[in-house]
Structures are given as C-alpha cells and as structure tokens.
Amino acid sequence: MSKTAPLHLRVPEPGCRPGDEPDFSDFVIPKAGEVDRPSLDVDPNAIREMAFSIIRVLNADGDAVGPWAGTLSHDELIKGLRHMLTLRIFDERMMNAQRQGKTSFYIQHLGEEAVSCAFRKALEKGDMNFPTYRQAGLLIAGGYPMVEMMNQIYSNSKDPLHGRQLPIMYSSKEHGFFSISGNLGTQFMQSVGWAMASAISGDTRIATGWIGDGSTAESDFHAALVFASTYNAPVVLNIVNNQWAISTFQGIARGGVGTFAARGHGFGIPAVRVDGNDYLAVHAVAKWASERARAGHGPTLIEHVTYRKGGHSSSDDPSAYRAKEESDAWPLGDPIERLKQHLIHEGVWSDAQHEAAEAEIRAEVIAAQKEAEANGTLGAGKLPSPRDMFEGVYETMPPHLVKQRQEAGY
Amino acid sequence: MSRMTMIEAIRDAHDVAMARDERVVVFGEDVGYFGGVFRCTAGLQKKYGKTRCFDAPISELGIVGAAVGMASYGLHPVVEIQFADYVYPAIDQIASEAARLRYRSAGDFTCPLVIRMPTGGGIFGGQTHSQSPEAFFTHVCGLKTVMPSNPQDAKGLLLAAIEDPDPVIFLEPKRLYNGPFDGHHDQPIVPWKKHDLGEVDDDYYVTPLGKAAIRRDGEAVTVLAYGTMVYVAEAAAEESGIDAEVIDLRTLLPLDIDTITESVKKTGRCLIVHEATKTGGFGAELMSQVQEACFYHLESPIIRVTGWDTPYPHAQEWDYFPGPARVIAALHQLMEE
C-alpha cells in the first residue's frame, strides 16, 4: 500500500462560464509605451521578458506613446481604419447571407480586425502569407476585390476555386495569400518551407505563418519552430490568441508555460506579445519582425493577444460555453473604436466622418454583394459545372479520372 | 550504359536532376553530409552545396510540410523518409496538403515534390522497418504512387517523378537495393552487377509514370506484381512450369489498366502478388478493376498472395514474406479451377 494520497489530474477551466460574472482581473496589461523596441539583430536571450509582456502603443486617452509609435502616418491610419470597417461590414453582410441560405458557412473576425489588417500593411508585394480562416483582413487590406471573395463564399459560377473549397477558404498567389487548409496547423510548417525556399533561391521575399492559440497544440507548430530556428528561415510566425478554440479556452492548449509566445524561448527564436486590438502596435511589431526576416536575422514568434467576440463560425453558439458579457468585458477593447478615438484625439477624424465612412463602405460592400449574387449563390444556383469537379486533381487528367468524368456524364 | 545497384541508380537520378535543374533540392534525415542511411544521396551535398542537399530534423511532418511550402514557392524538393514505416506522422501533410493543393487552389498553387521512402521487408527489419504502405497513398486523390523493381526503372521513374508537376510517392523496395531477390532467402544475393537489369542508361532519360512492363511473356495466367514481388513471381513461374505472364506494374497510380486487361483477356486467369498485408491492400483494388474489366474472360477466380494481416515479424520474417512456394501453390490452384 502506498502511503501517499491518490494522484489527481488538473483540467484547466476558464475564469467564467455562462451565468458567471466575467473577471479579467488576473490578466496583466502593461501600460502603453512601456515595452522597449529592440534592435533588429537583438539577441533573443536579451528580450526574454517580451514573451510575457504586451507591446502596446495606444493608451487609454487615445495617445500613441512609446518606442513602437510612429510607424504610420495619419493618412495611413485612416486607411487602416477603413480596412477594419470594411472587414467588419463585409462580415456582417456575409453572416446575414449565410443565415439567408445563400451559402453554407461563414467565419467572421469580430474584435480581431486589427491583427490581419495592420499586419498586411507591414508586408511587401511578393511576400507570402500562410493564413488561417480568420485573416481575411490580409486580403481586404491588400486590395483583393471583395466581389472575388464573395464569389468564393457563394461557390458561384465566378468562384475562382470552382466550388471546391468551403466558403472563406480563399486563395490568391498574386495577393500573397496561400490557399487555406481546414486542417489546423499544417500551414505553419509550410510557411517555414516557403521561407526556406526563398532563401535557397537567393530571393528577397519573406513568408508569414499564422496559427490559432488552440492549434499550437498540433505537432506542426513545434515542427515549424524547429525548422525555422534550425535554418534561420526568413519567416514571421504569428499566433493569434483570441482566447477561444471553438468552446475550448486558451488555457487548455497553453499548458503551464505561461504564454504562447514563451514557447519560442526553447528554440532561440525572439518571441514577443502584442496587443492585437491596437492597430498601431500590431503594425509596428509586424514591421519590426518582417524587417528582421528580410535583413537575414531569421524568424520571430509573435503572439497577438486578442479576443474572438463572435462565435467560432456561423455554426457555433458561444453562449453555450462562455458568459454573455465576457466579450464586452474584454479589457483590450475594440480595435476599431480604439483607432477611431486615436484619430479623433489627433484631430484628423471626427464622429461625423466616421459615420460617413461607414455609410460609404456599407454601400460599397452592398454593391459588391449584388454583383457577386448576380453570378449565383449556393442557395439559388448558377453553380460551377460538375465537370470542374474532375479538373485540377492532377495537371493532366489521368485515364481513370477521364473515365469517371465520362461516367458522371461530363 | 553502366552496371549499377539500385542505390547507385537512385543516386545517379538525383545527380542528373540536380545538374539539370537548380530548383531540385534534396533533404531528409541523414541525407546531407552522410548521404543517407542507405547512401542514396551520398556525395550530393559535396557536389551541389549545403543549401541544395541537407540534413533535416527528425520530424517527418516537418520534412514533408517544409517540402510542400518549398514546392508551392516553385522549387522541386525531393525528400527522403528514412523508412516507409515512419511516414505516418507526415500523412496529414501528404494527404490533406500536398495531394490537394492544386485542386483546392484551382492551380493557383501547385506541389511538385517527390517523397522517397525505402519500403518492404526482407532485411530483418522487424515490424518498424519492413512495412509496405502503398495502399494508404493510392487511396489519396492527387498523389501518384510509384514502386520500381530494378535500377534502370528506378533511375528513369525517379527522373520522371522529379519532373512531374504533381506530388509523387516513390517507394523503394529496400530488399532490391543491392540485387534482385527471388524469395529464396537461403541463397546468396546476386548483385545487380551480374544481372541484366543492372544495366542503366547513362545521363538523362525518363521511364514514364503510368506504364507497366511485361517482365515475362506467358499464355496461361497473368501475374500482377510490383517491387520485390516481381522476382518472386518470375521465380515461381519458372519453378512451377506454368506459362505465366508476369507484369511489373511500376506505377500503382495512375495504373496501367490497359496492359493488365489486355493480358488477362489473353490468359483468362489472374494472380496478384504483393508484400503488404491482405485486407484493404492494393491487391483488392487490382482484383476489383480486373473483375470489372475482364469478368467474361476469366476462367477462374482471381487469387491474391500477400503478406499476412499481422505486423511484420522479426524472427518469422520468411514465413511472413510471400515467397515462391505460396505463389507456386496459387498458380496451380488457378490452373486447376
């Protein structure tokens, strides 16, 4: 007989569940401007504490403060605000379209618009993103036509992917947006391979990998860090910690390490956390990390600390697993509201201008939607030909597929 | 022409491909400085430099995932999985990513990569160094699956695989690396240098994917085999005295069904031999396709001789391995029915 007490297992639980009072009191938020901005060739060991802090630029008064401020002009910030508004209105319209049966599925970005919109503006033409399904801001901010995005969402006759992919799983090589996989984590590793290929080829382009907090539990995440570190690949590795992996809170995938960014330490990769709801901070960090990669200093691991205000997807109901008030209690606020306040505070924006911009953008999104719907929707028809189903499995269709296509009547 | 082992032929194919096209890069566990545990990549790092042939961390998913990224960039990576038994951690990257990239992106991104792996038993590798996982790959749309049986084909098929615009699984029967093998494990290995099929064309040539080869002409029965089993089938045909036609499939997908059906319609009988386990094996697919195409020409039921439905045992390797005795018995059974 053992003299010790029976062993027991720890199963982490989030701070609150439906019916509870949201409580973020143990979430430590550093003051804006308080985290240093290291040189591009910094020794990763010298900035270990940055994996536990949070880089922030916008303070509560709407000022841009500290060493990470000043990477964007007022004009650029107004454009950034417009990108975020576009993404939010686009999401709103497409969520409704899904509810109306015009498509099968949708994933929105509510509360996380700054992450992808700001990041995109730090990249150069030719760089390649390996995104997840929650970085459509990379396309919006990169100028990809909304009509094309909607054609894909509707799986209609003009869908660039011929109806083969789930809605929102866009692909555009020209716009530096790698084809999205629904298998989580796989593309984190691929981004490192792409970056290695760029370096092998003597190119100047860099890659970015994207992964959610929950998916960091996949082996691909760890493999990506090993390869990126070993070969000093020119890649920026982004973890978007939006607190929730469907119904599973981020503490389940995180383990006891403290932060997701801290995982970079074991690989000698500079690792930082950034306020993902602060457009200015995300842009500054993205610029720093991409400049590091381009200058040959290798990978950077960035944890974007944000909050998924909406459901995981149009199929998800978050009220079943988290407190209804939790999203409003999120202490880093709303990215659009924060940037708006900053611009008003700077005297270059106003409530009236904001309202006018919103109306203008809504009209643009509705016009794009009308144009896309004229090409068909999943619910109402004008779908790609079933013949397309057989094309593109291989560059040249092998005989057995030709036979099957004929058998199907195409 | 030069006499070569299959290892040398594979190395030569890498060399020719790397010299022809600087987009070809080679990596995997131990393949760089050391040249691979089977020495298939020996000398390549010295000749082409460390960024075109290099060692990788022990992470099969990492190796394949990196190769998918590289291929989508525009390189032509050739990666080695040290043993086919170790490919399973990379299955997601192969089946969900490499295989479907062209399709799901409508050709926006493509994945021209080759995944090489030593496969099969016969070297006392036990259950972790002997498996034949070809059926896993033939079940995945978007992949091509190749298994050569001799040095000449190995070089030509590998060069074709490297040039192929789509991902290719290249399975190398490790029992054939140094010489052919007719299943008589108590006999000394005949080196490729003393075998006609050890003759390999110099320089560049391709053996097209999707084309089978008739290794032995016959009128009485068609034997379908690939890899090591081609030699077992040939030995069994000789020793049984039955006029069997032996077809070496060379490529499992796309399958050269025309050559197969032409032969089975001629002979009226079909025997399938493979080393992989029976249930759900590639033999089941062959059986179905032959039945669909040749039912009214068949004079007896199609038979499979395969590995047993167990992991590959160490001490009982030769009881597991489908040797000539089992193939001969099956041939007689086919002729009697």
CATH code (residue A308):
3.40.50.970
Residue B110 makes CB contacts below 8 A (sequence gap 6+) with A395, B71, B72, B101, B102, B165, B166
**Is A86 part of a structural domain of the chain?**
yes
Mean pLDDT of A9-14: 92
B254: nearest CB among A183, A226, A399 = A399
Which residue matches tokens 């070496």? B248
Mean pLDDT of B304-318: 95
Residue A169 makes CB contacts below 8 A (sequence gap 6+) with A133, A152, A161, A179, A180, A181, A182, B104
pLDDT surpasses 80 at A66? yes
- Is the separation of the CB atoms in A76 and A117 below 8 Å? no
Task: Answer whether A224 sits within 8 Å of B257, measured CB to CB.
Answer: no
pLDDT tens for B142-165 read 999 999 999 999 999 999 999 999
- Is the separation of the CB atoms in B185 and B122 below 8 Å? yes
Q: So which residues of B are the catalytic ones?
A: 129
Which residue segment(s) compose the domain that A237 sits in?
A: 44-312+324-379
**Is A26 part of a structural domain of the chain?**
no
pLDDT surpasses 70 at A1? no
pLDDT tens for A159-198 read 999 999 999 999 999 999 999 999 999 999 999 999 999 9
E strands, chain B, in order: 2-3, 24-28, 53-55, 76-80, 114-119, 144-146, 168-173, 199-200, 213-216, 221-225, 244-248, 251-253, 270-277, 303-307
pLDDT surpasses 90 at B90? yes
**What percentage of chain B has pLDDT greater than the value 70?**
100
pLDDT surpasses 90 at B21? yes
- Is the separation of the CB atoms in B86 and B142 below 8 Å? no
Buried b (16+ CB within 10 A) or exposed e, A135-144: bbbbbbbbeb
Give the model's confidence band at A3: pLDDT under 50 very low, under 70 low, under 90 confident, else very high.
confident
Structure-token pair, residue B283: 């033999």
Sort out which chain B residues have CB atoms less than 8 A from A181's CB and list them.
Answer: 96-97, 104
Going by C-alpha positions, the residue among A25, A5, A10, A4 that lies closest to residue A255 is: A10
pLDDT tens for B202-241 read 999 999 999 999 999 999 999 999 999 999 999 999 999 9
pLDDT surpasses 70 at A38? yes
Residue A305 makes CB contacts below 8 A (sequence gap 6+) with A54, A241, A273, A274, A275, A276, A332
Inter-chain contacts counted by CB atoms under 8 A, chains A and B: 143
Going by C-alpha positions, the residue among B57, B11, B265, B37 that lies closest to residue B129 is: B37
CA angle B169, B252, B282 (to 5 degrees): 105
pLDDT given for residue A26 in this prediction: 86
Residue A405: its H or E element: helix A399-407
Give the model's confidence band at B281: pLDDT under 50 very low, under 70 low, under 90 confident, else very high.
very high
Task: Answer whether A192 sits within 8 Å of B65, measured CB to CB.
Answer: yes
Q: A237 forms bridges with which residues in the sheet?
A: A209, A301
- Is the separation of the CB atoms in A132 and A138 below 8 Å? no
pLDDT surpasses 90 at A95? yes
pLDDT tens for A262-283 read 999 999 999 999 999 999 999 9
Residues for chain A: how many in total? Answer: 410
pLDDT tens for A214-240 read 999 999 999 999 999 999 999 999 999
**Is A112 part of a structural domain of the chain?**
yes
pLDDT given for residue A351 in this prediction: 98
How many folded domains does chain A comprise?
Answer: 1
Residue B198 makes CB contacts below 8 A (sequence gap 6+) with B3, B4, B5, B150, B151, B191, B192
- Is the separation of the CB atoms in A224 and A189 below 8 Å? yes
| DSSP state string for A69-86 | --SS-HHHHHHHHHHHHH
**Is A102 part of a structural domain of the chain?**
yes
Residues for chain B: how many in total? Answer: 337
- Supply the DSSP symbol for B207: -
Helices (H), B218-256: 229-240
- Is the separation of the CB atoms in B112 and B67 below 8 Å? no
Sort out which chain A residues have CB atoms less than 8 A from B92's CB and list them.
Answer: 183, 186, 220
- Is the separation of the CB atoms in A269 and A233 below 8 Å? no
pLDDT given for residue B79 in this prediction: 98
B62: nearest CB among A165, A189, A398 = A189
Distance (Å) from the C-alpha of residue B57 to the closest C-alpha of chain A?
Answer: 7
pLDDT tens for B186-196 read 888 899 999 98
- Is the separation of the CB atoms in A59 and A333 below 8 Å? no
* Rounded Cα distance, B41 and B26, in Å: 8
**What percentage of chain A has pLDDT greater than the value 70?**
100
Task: Answer whether A160 sits within 8 Å of B52, measured CB to CB.
Answer: no
* Rounded Cα distance, A271 and A57, in Å: 18
ipTM of the complex model: 0.96
Distance (Å) from the C-alpha of residue A173 to the closest C-alpha of chain B?
Answer: 6
Give the model's confidence band at B254: pLDDT under 50 very low, under 70 low, under 90 confident, else very high.
very high
Mean pLDDT of B22-27: 98
Structure-token pair, residue B124: 């006392």
Mean pLDDT of B20-25: 98
* Rounded Cα distance, B89 and B93, in Å: 9
Q: Which of A171, A179, A198, A388 is the best mutation test for B, with the most CBs of B within 10 A?
A: A179
**Is A203 part of a structural domain of the chain?**
yes
CA angle B200, B203, B209 (to 5 degrees): 70
**Is A296 part of a structural domain of the chain?**
yes
Sort out which chain B residues have CB atoms less than 8 A from A220's CB and list them.
Answer: 61-62, 65, 92-93
**Is A13 part of a structural domain of the chain?**
no
**Is A392 part of a structural domain of the chain?**
no
Instruction: Report the mean per-residue pLDDT for chain A.
Output: 96
Distance (Å) from the C-alpha of residue B318 to the closest C-alpha of chain A?
Answer: 36
- Residue B77 to residues A128, A192, B152, B162: CA-CA distances in angstroms? 19, 14, 22, 8
Label the pairing between strands B114-119 and A271-275. unpaired
CA angle B244, B246, B249 (to 5 degrees): 155
- Is the separation of the CB atoms in B146 and B171 below 8 Å? yes
Distance (Å) from the C-alpha of residue A180 to the closest C-alpha of chain B?
Answer: 8
